[in-house]
Amino acid sequence: MLARIADRRAARSEATLQSDIRQLLLAGDFGLSGYHLNDIDLEAPAGGGRRIDIEVGYTIIEVKRGLQTGRPLRDAERQLAGYVWSRCMESGQRYVGILTDGATWRAYQLTGDELTLVDTHTVAATRPDGLALFYWLEGVLATSQRVRPAPAEVARRLGAQSTSHKLDRAALAALYAEHERLPTVELKRKLWAELLDSALGTQFVDDPDLFVEHTLLMNSAYIIAHLVVGIDALELQPQDLITGQRFDQARILGVVEHDFFGWTTEVPGGREFIHGLTRRLARFDWLRADHDILKVLYESMIGPETRKRMGEYYTPDWLAEHLIDTVVTDPLRQRVLDPACGSGTFLFHAVRRYLAAAETADVPLDAALTQLTQHVVGVDLHPVAVALARVTYLLAIGHQRLTDQRGAITIPVYLGDSMQWRERRDLFTEEHVRISAGYNASAVEEWLRFPKTLLDEPSRFDQIVSGLAGIAAKPRDPNNPPSLAAFFHHLQIRADDQPMIRGTFEAMCRLHDEGRDHIWSYYLRNLARPVWFAMDDNRVDILIGNPPWLSYRHMPTGMQAMFKKLCSERGLWRGSQFATQQDLSSLFVVRTIQQYLRDGGAFAFVLPNAVLDREHFEAFRSGRYTDETEPTDVAFTGSWDLRRLRPHPFPRGASVVFGNKAATGSPRRLPSVTEQWTGRLGTDARRWKQAAPSINRELVPLGGAYLAESPYKAHVHNGATIFPKILFFVEVDSGGRLGLGVGRHAVRSARSNMENPPWKDLPALEGVVESEFIRPVLLGETLLPYRILPAKKAVLPLDGSTLMTGSGSRLDYYFGLAEWWRKAEATWEAHRSSARLTLGEQLNFRRKLTAQLPAPPLRLAYSASGMHVAAAIVDDPAAVIEHALYYCTIDSRAEGHYLSAILNSPALTTLARPLMSYSKDERHIDKHVWKLPIPRYDDADRTHRRLAELGQDQCQFVAGLDLEEGRSFVTLRRRIRVALAGHSATAEIEATVMEMLS
């Protein structure tokens, strides 16, 4: 049927095509079995003598025999726009339209009076993909019922690539564009941007598209929050869904709040949008969700590039589950805080563990739920993460428990700054908690105040704040202000506390009457909680989670200054040479331990793998943090090294560190042995019991645990930064039949498909340059194990060991070189980044070029990156070494063969991998290889001489290999490694290197 529908060449009428498409809708699994056949109408009347080809639910399908560009398509779009507009006006609901000829399917969204194309799908007449069309059509129709919310289905039907998401996003973007200048919308976006800028630094861009994406995600989360507890969201008014009134009525507080993203119900057209969004989400049977599905929703709706730019990566469920089981040993007595809770993955498993223990101990459900919200708590600075985590917390409790007899509960996930960058002690006075609500018309600052003792009962405090805000928002008689007597009685507020609360209520009423009643109560509830946790009597037993890995280089200037100050005070700052490598994670751990963890309390944090053995984390590993105001010591108990798992759980190498808050003066540094995890996880590994059989765990020494570094380390240097390549690397020509005379060559920029903008889009430079300035250059791609491929050629303005680029140089003595260099400089100035380096300064950055000259007769070079080290002897003094290689001077070929044998050996790779940076695999060995105790070559040492002989044998063997020209250097390196694996000297080299360096 689908092949017939998609065949444009078939002789058929539009009526036949309409009938076939209607039959396809009935035969496919679109959830239309409950529809009366007459509800899937052909030729439905549309007024004015017009008829709609096919109408089903809130979708109008217009069928044409052929859909090509030009006037026929425009006419069909105008016709469809009229149908969609009239149905929207008649019903007050959001309709969408489809235009199709059977092969091409086009989905449209009404924006104002205009029809906007949102998505297209093409079906091939030969071997048509019915499943792809099903998901595309189902996303438009949104008629399926009781779909299981498995991760794959959620991503496929709601993710960024789904038609459903594209339609909803287009509608919301149009709604925002129409109303973005309204004061309520402007304020909410402003507060949203301020928080994310503080949380994410320069990785956050105040982009209206991101605000729309977050609003869509959060409105979806609000609706799902109702669905996961069995509330029929389609029966509720949009305003009730977005403000969470049903939860307030059920005395379940802190799930859905009036926050940054509630503007959708405050603007014209928002009601229709929320109704349509609810209908799409109600397709799923959310009662069957049994894991952190909100994380899946977030990762599928917010594109990977956006998440990468903002540094947002979440912990897999199986790891969070196992960490909770490992650390939370007494769930009924231990209070657990995740200070960077993200979407709530750790909270989900901590809640499940607590409730299972309560059930085993026969704790009554009412008491269990009340105590749960005091034992498992989350905080995050990202408002989107907080909203997701609250729904996740609700999912973990489960709708069955919420429907039984219980008292009021508050979902204890708070929007707050766990780092306390600004140490918000100003929120508290001696007796009360307060927050500024801005200035009134008389330039007087308004304050909302509550007695500080009320925070001891989070659920009651939240009821008081939200209850007062609700009463203040109701219509009032100015001559008869509402009495709070019943409110005070119901919440058992002491007489001494009532005057302050009454004054706060009066301020809330004024804010509402003046149109300034936005989200101040939301701020009050959330911002106060982290400060409250930092008070001595309120500290927790366990800190656990995955803190932000925000790099220093991505922090805004103000945050960089504060980060450096806080690190310096605690002895964590490692100097400017390590600034670009440092990130927020270690400071976050130390600061949250200082503020929130009781003495002797335990912690477990997922951190970058570099924490285990890199120099810039040395102070963190010490366990002693010398803060004058609050010196803190920790006793590290162990670590897990996760970077060898496949597929990688995180985009960077990860680890887990464990420890306890120690008594002052008794730190214990991180053990030099870690538990290394290796293995390949299946794609369905969501629970620990599914992941565990695939993981091998063994104790191994950390990369930084070697007793001595190699004496070679101080003599190894990185090659020159010859970039951009278009300005230096050239193809050389003799100049044709007539030639160019002795000592001159025609040159043209050598091009590569590896170039990046803006250089890839520029024309090649051409010229005639004196031969002495065309130098051979060794790149990473020219070096193989034991062998060097032909060097590349580059124009370098070198006079001996002097770079001729500054004033007073001899550059103009060489007309060809000078002309080339002036063109290169002009190109650089026109297209360089914001860096202020001249082209000459860029070429000789940190003197990496001129430091090579004059070159010694023999050098050893090795690759700076790659999972396997490759090394070879360089015996051309004219060759310049580029930054993808490292090099050192060697005194003899024997020394070169000795070092080559060590560096090219698989044993060296095994030992060096823990030292390497991490990407898809281990990368960037740099100078870390010399942290291994590779001894200086000694001709009197029998072992050294033997390694040199074996290295020479392997060098001669590789020289005799027939390497295919044109193959990539990666392929050639792999082929050489395979060939060496069978070489007679390999086993002896392996044994010797392992014995020497282990």
The yes-or-no verdict on residue 284 having pLDDT over 70 is: yes
CATH number of 540-705: 3.40.50.150
What band does 37 get if pLDDT is binned at 50, 70 and 90?
A: very low
Q: 859 forms bridges with which residues in the sheet?
A: 874, 889
If you average pLDDT over residues 878-906, what whole number do you get?
96
Task: Give 737 or 874, the one with higher predicted confidence.
Answer: 874
Q: For residue 86, give the nearest of 40, 55, 118 by alpha carbon.
A: 55
Q: Which residues belong to CATH 3.40.50.150 in the chain?
A: 540-705
Judge contact between 96 and 83, C-beta under 8 A.
Answer: no
The yes-or-no verdict on residue 937 having pLDDT over 80 is: yes
Judge contact between 56 and 35, C-beta under 8 A.
Answer: yes
- The verdict on whether omega for the bond into residue 790 sits within 30 degrees of 0, i.e. cis, is no
Judge contact between 257 and 251, C-beta under 8 A.
Answer: no
Task: Give 112 or 658, the one with higher predicted confidence.
Answer: 658
What band does 398 get if pLDDT is binned at 50, 70 and 90?
A: confident
The yes-or-no verdict on residue 736 having pLDDT over 70 is: no
Give the model confidence (pLDDT) of 678-715 as tens digits. Answer: 999 887 788 999 999 999 999 988 865 444 689 999 99
Query: What class has domain 2-145?
Result: alpha beta
The yes-or-no verdict on residue 259 having pLDDT over 90 is: no
The yes-or-no verdict on residue 939 having pLDDT over 70 is: yes
Lowest pLDDT segment from 294-308, 420-434, 657-671, 830-844: 420-434
- Give the E-state strand segments of 153-307 in sequence order: 252-253
- The verdict on whether omega for the bond into residue 647 sits within 30 degrees of 0, i.e. cis, is yes
Judge contact between 766 and 735, C-beta under 8 A.
Answer: no
If you average pLDDT over residues 293-305, what whole number do you get?
73
Q: Report how far residue 342's alpha carbon sits from residue 348's, in angstroms, rounded to the nearest whole number.
A: 11
For the whole model, what pTM was predicted?
A: 0.72
Q: Amino acid identity of 902? A: I
Q: Report how far residue 109's alpha carbon sits from residue 166's, in angstroms, rounded to the nearest whole number.
A: 10
If you average pLDDT over residues 143-165, what whole number do you get?
86
Provide the mean pLDDT of the chain: 85
What band does 643 get if pLDDT is binned at 50, 70 and 90?
A: confident
The yes-or-no verdict on residue 88 having pLDDT over 60 is: yes
Lowest pLDDT segment from 151-160, 430-439, 854-863: 430-439
pLDDT over 70 percentage in the chain: 90
If you average pLDDT over residues 646-659, what whole number do you get?
88
Lowest pLDDT segment from 356-360, 487-491, 747-751: 487-491
The yes-or-no verdict on residue 157 having pLDDT over 80 is: yes
What band does 910 get if pLDDT is binned at 50, 70 and 90?
A: confident
Highest averaged pLDDT of the listed ranges 385-399, 477-491, 504-518: 385-399
H-helix or E-strand spanning residue 119: strand 114-122
Q: Report how far residue 352's alpha carbon sits from residue 362's, in angstroms, rounded to the nearest whole number.
A: 15
The yes-or-no verdict on residue 91 having pLDDT over 90 is: no
What band does 206 get if pLDDT is binned at 50, 70 and 90?
A: confident
Q: What is the pLDDT of residue 888?
A: 95
Lowest pLDDT segment from 38-52, 56-70, 137-151: 38-52
Judge contact between 506 and 437, C-beta under 8 A.
Answer: no
Task: Give 830 or 909, the one with higher predicted confidence.
Answer: 830
Q: Report how far residue 493's alpha carbon sits from residue 895's, in angstroms, rounded to the nearest whole number.
A: 84
What band does 349 get if pLDDT is binned at 50, 70 and 90?
A: very high
Residue 57, both tokens:
């639910």
Give the model confidence (pLDDT) of 779-830 as tens digits. Answer: 999 999 999 999 999 999 999 889 998 766 789 899 999 999 999 999 999 9
Q: What is the pLDDT of residue 329?
A: 96
If you average pLDDT over residues 398-412, what whole number do you get?
81
What band does 492 get if pLDDT is binned at 50, 70 and 90?
A: confident
Q: Which residues of 800-833 are buried (b: 16+ CB within 10 A; e: fewer)?
A: eeebbbeeeeebeebebbbebbeebeebbeeeee
H-helix or E-strand spanning residue 607: strand 597-608
Q: Report how far residue 877's alpha carbon sits from residue 776's, in angstroms, rounded to the nearest whole number.
A: 10
Q: What is the pLDDT of residue 38?
A: 44
Q: What is the pLDDT of residue 834?
A: 62
Q: Which residues belong to CATH 3.90.1570.30 in the chain?
A: 2-145
Q: What is the pLDDT of residue 920?
A: 47
The yes-or-no verdict on residue 162 having pLDDT over 80 is: yes
What band does 723 get if pLDDT is binned at 50, 70 and 90?
A: very high
Judge contact between 580 and 553, C-beta under 8 A.
Answer: yes
H-helix or E-strand spanning residue 281: helix 270-281
512 phi and psi angles, rounded to 5 deg: -65, -45
Q: What is the pLDDT of residue 704?
A: 54
Q: What is the pLDDT of residue 438?
A: 67
Highest averaged pLDDT of the listed ranges 58-72, 164-178, 396-410: 164-178
Give the model confidence (pLDDT) of 216-255 as tens digits. Answer: 988 998 998 888 888 888 888 888 888 888 888 888 888 8
Lowest pLDDT segment from 472-476, 592-596, 622-626, 891-895: 472-476
Give the model confidence (pLDDT) of 550-588 as tens digits. Answer: 778 777 777 788 888 888 888 888 776 666 678 889 999
If you average pLDDT over residues 648-659, what whole number do you get?
88
Lowest pLDDT segment from 391-395, 467-471, 575-579: 575-579
Q: Is 340 left (phi over 0), alpha (psi -120 to 50) or beta?
A: beta
Judge contact between 947 and 992, C-beta under 8 A.
Answer: yes
The yes-or-no verdict on residue 350 having pLDDT over 60 is: yes
